[in-house]
Structure 1
Amino acid sequence: MKIKYDHSFELPRSIVWKYIKDENVLRNSLPGCSFFEERSTGNYLAEIGIHIGPIKDVFKLEIYTIEENSASSYRLHVKGKGNLGEINGNGALHIKEKQGGTHLSFLADAEITGALAFASKRILDGTTDTSLANFFQKMEKEIKKRIYLVKKRSR
């Protein structure tokens, strides 16, 4: 399954880069996340509940940083298992300045097995787009909330 998603943040690239791998920001941004922990720098464990049409499951995920180019790109590998299948994939985030904000492009290639793989491509594509939109919108709100709290503490 190929995934492509673009998002524009109303924040400078340096701020987006600072928070994009923050454990707390990620935990609070991932839809259905019940557990999220950084095991070592750039390597995480997560537990995410999914709901795709009639399919509901909880996936335990391992997320590994493969490569990082400071403030511009980030490649990762995700593997996970639930009762109804497994997911194994690679993703890349590319971040660049764009008119006072930040443009993020996300590209991924994932292999899905088990009952989850039998969901129609149309359902998976629609759910993936919605989940990614929710994730990046929540992430932007989380980042703005953290910036506000830092400013408030420094007064």
Structure 2
Amino acid sequence: MEVQGQVKVKAGKEAVWKALNDPDVLKKATPGCNSITETEPDTYKADITIGIAAVRGSYEAEIKILDKDEPENYRLVMKANSPAGFIEGDARVELQAESDSVTIIKYDGTAQVGGLIAGVGQRILSGIGKLIVKDFFNKLAKEV
């Protein structure tokens, strides 16, 4: 499943970059995130509860930020497991300054699911994935 889009943030590029690398901001922006802990530089463990029917459940996730080019872009890799299955994602996140006080966050990635979750139709999963990602970036924009 492919997930891509963009969101406009009313903040400068440096402030947006800082927010995208701040565990407290990531916790607030991630839908259903109960906790997030940095286990080593740019690697996090998170406890996430998703309340959307097809993927409902508690997930233990590992999130890695790779290939950083501050403050331009990075690669985000996520693996989340629950009794119902797993979700894996890999995305490129890019920041573009529209002005000194407006930044556009572009994201482009893929996600795979397995286990019982995979039994749900691809169309439904794609819609849920896009909803969760869009919610994350909209919440992040409010935190900057």
TM-score, normalised with respect to structure 2: 0.91
Runs of 4+ in 1 over 3 A off after TM superposition: none
1:16 aligns with 2:16: yes
> How far apart in 2 are the matches of 1:110 and 1:27?
20
- Where structure 2 has 5 or more consecutive residues not aligned to the other structure, the ranges are none
- Please say which of residues 94-103 and 51-60 is displaced more in the overlay: 51-60
Aligned length: 143
Structure showing greater radius of gyration is: 1
> How far apart in 2 are the matches of 1:78 and 1:96?
23
Task: Report the AA paired with residue 39 of structure 2.
Answer: R
Percent identity of paired positions between Structure 1 and Structure 2: 27
TM-score, normalised with respect to structure 1: 0.85
1:130 aligns with 2:121: no
Aligned to 1:36: 36
- RMSD over equivalenced CA pairs, Å: 1.5
TM-superposed CA distance for 1:55, in Å, is 4.2
- Where structure 1 has 5 or more consecutive residues not aligned to the other structure, the ranges are 144-155
> How far apart in 1 are the matches of 2:106 and 2:143?
19
TM-superposed CA distance for 1:22, in Å, is 0.1
1:92 aligns with 2:92: yes
Tell me, yes or no, if the aligned pair for 2:79 and 2:89 is still in contact at 8 Å: yes
Aligned to 1:77: 77
Tell me, yes or no, if the aligned pair for 2:25 and 2:143 is still in contact at 8 Å: yes
Task: Report the AA paired with residue 138 of structure 2.
Answer: Q
Tell me, yes or no, if the aligned pair for 2:91 and 2:107 is still in contact at 8 Å: yes
> How far apart in 2 are the matches of 1:86 and 1:55?
10
* Higher RCO, 1 vs 2 (CA within 8 Å, ≥6 residues apart): 2
TM-superposed CA distance for 1:138, in Å, is 1.4
